[in-house]
């Protein structure tokens, strides 16, 4: 952090300024002049929080994708199918047992197992052949999508959150001030706050595991130099299996989250695959903090775009990606290889 500030004083100043402006926009009550330019503060806050929550969901999907790619150079274009499969399985579990929370470990295990099968049976046979992996996983995603369409049909499903997450919570942020001077605080769905909190917890936990544990050390070493790690006696295939299972399980759990605050239907798999692609391109391949920044940027631009320029919200996402590619092809936090 301090190193960054010393190396890039201008950039740090700009980032600090932007953060200050954002904090002021969030916490200070808006004057009438500002509201006439940007619309009601309530709308801005809702778009902002919606964007952050969507970013959290994207992060859950994309972090597994970026981890798998960063460590194994495996291009898993069936990642979106794992997401959708996790969502459908979570729906079944929570419908049959009535427990929303139980769905998470069950789906994590099931989709993680599928991930192990994928890594062991598919990717190990074609290590280093990126193009072939791409083709095979595209074929797999076509097959999986059709099987899921077969089982669950074309209608859309929504997973219901438990009662204790139902309804809104009041946040200590002023959204509006009445004429009488009484402040109205922002109310926001509790489920979304829970998702946001969970994503932050998972992100921090991943960072801790990667940077503070022996397994994380192995994974980081594997990202840097795979041959050297296996030459020093580490059974790298087991590390690969563990990472692939974790990434797949994470995508499956993200499916439950996505099914709770949006819906599950055929086509969501490609949507989330593309979202993770863009997130990872923007953030940099193989970087967890990069995935977080990319997910936040894409989620925010999508939601803000929906509110302020509904026709072109997709174009904003695309423009961010094109700008990153044009000026930093390896992604914001990616390392040039």
Residue at token pair 């996402």:
317
User: Among 14, 22, 143, 151, which residue sits at the site for other proteins (rule: CB under 8 A)?
Assistant: 143
DSSP sequence for 235-254: -HHHHHHHHHHHHHHHHHHH
117 binds other proteins (CB under 8 A): no
Cα-to-chain-centroid distance, residue 227 = 30
User: Among 3, 36, 150, 164, which residue sits at the site for other proteins (rule: CB under 8 A)?
Assistant: 150
CB-wise, 142 or 205, nearer to other proteins? Answer: 142
Determine phi and psi for 335, rounding to 5 degrees. -105, 135
User: Among 12, 134, 156, 262, which residue sits at the site for other proteins (rule: CB under 8 A)?
Assistant: 134
Q: Which of residues 25-44 bind other proteins (CB under 8 A)?
A: none
Contact partners, residue 133, CB within 8 Å, separation at least 6: 74, 75, 76, 122, 123, 126
- Kindly report the length of the chain: 337
Query: What would the x/- binding string for other proteins be over residues 304 to 323, using CB under 8 A?
Result: ------xxxxxx-xx--xx-
Torsion sign across C-alpha atoms 194, 260, 282, 322? negative
CB-wise, 138 or 209, nearer to other proteins? Answer: 138
- The least distance separating other proteins from the CB of residue 304, rounded to whole angstroms, comes to 16
142 binds other proteins (CB under 8 A): yes
61 binds other proteins (CB under 8 A): no
Determine phi and psi for 178, rounding to 5 degrees. -75, 165
Residue at token pair 């997709």:
314
Determine phi and psi for 40, rounding to 5 degrees. -65, 145
CA–CA dist 61, 253 (Å, integer): 9
22 binds other proteins (CB under 8 A): no
135 binds other proteins (CB under 8 A): yes
75 binds other proteins (CB under 8 A): yes
131 binds other proteins (CB under 8 A): yes
270 binds other proteins (CB under 8 A): yes
How many residues touch other proteins under the rule CB under 8 A: the total is 38
Q: Residue 324 half-sphere exposure, CB side, CA atoms within 13 Å?
A: 24
- The least distance separating other proteins from the CB of residue 170, rounded to whole angstroms, comes to 35
User: Among 111, 118, 264, 278, which residue sits at the site for other proteins (rule: CB under 8 A)?
Assistant: 278
Q: Assign residue 260 a region: left if phi > 0, alpha if psi is -120 to 50, beta otherwise?
A: alpha
Binding site for other proteins (CB under 8 A): 75, 129-132, 134-136, 138-140, 142-143, 145-147, 149-150, 270, 274, 277-278, 280-281, 285, 310-315, 317-318, 321-322, 325-326, 329
């Amino acid at each position: 952090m301090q190193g960054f500030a010393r190396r890039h004083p201008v950039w740090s100043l700009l980032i600090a300024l932007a953060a200050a402006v954002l904090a002021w926009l969030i916490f200070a009550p808006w004057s009438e002049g500002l509201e006439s330019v940007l619309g009601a503060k309530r709308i801005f806050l809702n778009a902002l929080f919606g964007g952050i929550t969507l970013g959290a969901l994207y992060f859950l999907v994309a972090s597994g994708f970026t981890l798998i790619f960063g460590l194994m150079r495996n291009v898993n274009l069936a990642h979106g199918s794992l997401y959708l499969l996790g969502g459908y399985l979570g729906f079944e579990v929570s419908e049959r047992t009535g427990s929303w929370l139980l769905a998470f470990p069950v789906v994590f295990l099931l989709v993680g197992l599928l991930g192990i099968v994928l890594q062991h049976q598919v990717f190990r046979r074609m290590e280093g052949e990126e193009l072939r992996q791409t083709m095979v996983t595209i074929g797999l995603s076509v097959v999986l999508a059709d099987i899921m369409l077969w089982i669950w049909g074309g209608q859309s499903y929504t997973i219901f959150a438990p009662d204790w997450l139902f309804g809104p919570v009041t946040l200590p942020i002023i959204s509006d001030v009445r004429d009488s001077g009484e402040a109205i605080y922002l109310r926001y769905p509790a489920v979304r706050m829970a998702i946001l909190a969970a994503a932050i917890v998972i992100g921090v936990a991943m960072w801790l595991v990667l940077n503070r544990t022996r397994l994380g050390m192995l994974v980081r070493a594997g990202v840097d130099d795979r041959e050297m790690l296996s030459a020093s006696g580490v059974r790298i295939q087991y590390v690969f299996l563990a990472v692939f299972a974790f990434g797949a399980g994470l995508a499956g759990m993200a499916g439950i989250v996505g099914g709770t605050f949006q819906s599950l239907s055929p086509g969501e798999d490609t949507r989330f695959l593309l979202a993770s692609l863009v997130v990872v391109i923007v953030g940099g391949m193989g970087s967890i903090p990069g995935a977080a920044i990319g997910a936040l940027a894409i989620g925010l631009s999508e939601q803000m775009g929906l509110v302020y320029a509904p026709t072109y919200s997709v174009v904003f996402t695309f423009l961010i990606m094109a700008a990153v590619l044009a000026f930093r092809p390896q992604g914001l936090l990616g390392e040039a290889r």
